[in-house]
Amino acid sequence: MQTIQTPFQILGEQGIRELTSAFYDIMDSLPEAAGVRAMHAADLAPMKEKLAEYLIGWMGGPPLYAQKYGSVCMTEPHEHYHIGPEERDQWLLCMHKALAQTGASEELVDMLRQPLFRIADAIRNREGPSAAATDANIIAAG
């Protein structure tokens, strides 16, 4: 009988750290992700660490983020950012490119596709993109 493995068992902690690092490097350089990149601080190193800790727990490993920050709720830390369908899709694009770049199997990508969409869509707090994402002349948009 085939045993079903969690993404954590497939990738391991190191694999998830590599995925997270690739994810932010892609966000940092991909023109299509410029909108979400601009929402983040200049230094992405702290985010690489936080997202890795989060995903290690989310993918079935030890709950590092929950232990450190006391919650796994992601709506609250994102509520001050404008996250519409475009921002959600930019985030997901970076994650799918990171999975491909780090050599994730087709099986793993299929396993993660829907849960990743669900968590990203749950974080979405607007119906549409921010004005900043569509109009380069707007300096600040809520």
Q: Which residues bind ligand HEM (CB under 6 A)?
A: 36, 39-41, 47, 50-51, 54, 58, 69, 74, 77-78, 81, 83, 87-88, 91, 119-120, 123-124
Least separation in angstroms between CB 138 and ligand HEM: 17
In angstroms, what CA-CA distances link 54 with 28, 42, 106, 121?
A: 20, 20, 23, 17
Least separation in angstroms between CB 3 and ligand HEM: 25
Q: Judged by CB, which is closer to ligand HEM: 8, or 54?
A: 54
Q: Judged by CB, which is closer to ligand HEM: 12, or 64?
A: 64
Contacts of 9 (CB under 8 A, 6+ apart): 60
Copy the structure tokens of residue 30. Answer: 């991909």
Please give the Cα distance from 38 to 34 (Å, whole number): 6
Least separation in angstroms between CB 24 and ligand HEM: 10
Nearest to 47 by CA among 85, 75, 77, 7: 77
Element holding 23 (H helix, E strand): helix 7-29
Q: Judged by CB, which is closer to ligand HEM: 2, or 76?
A: 76
Q: Judged by CB, which is closer to ligand HEM: 101, or 125?
A: 125
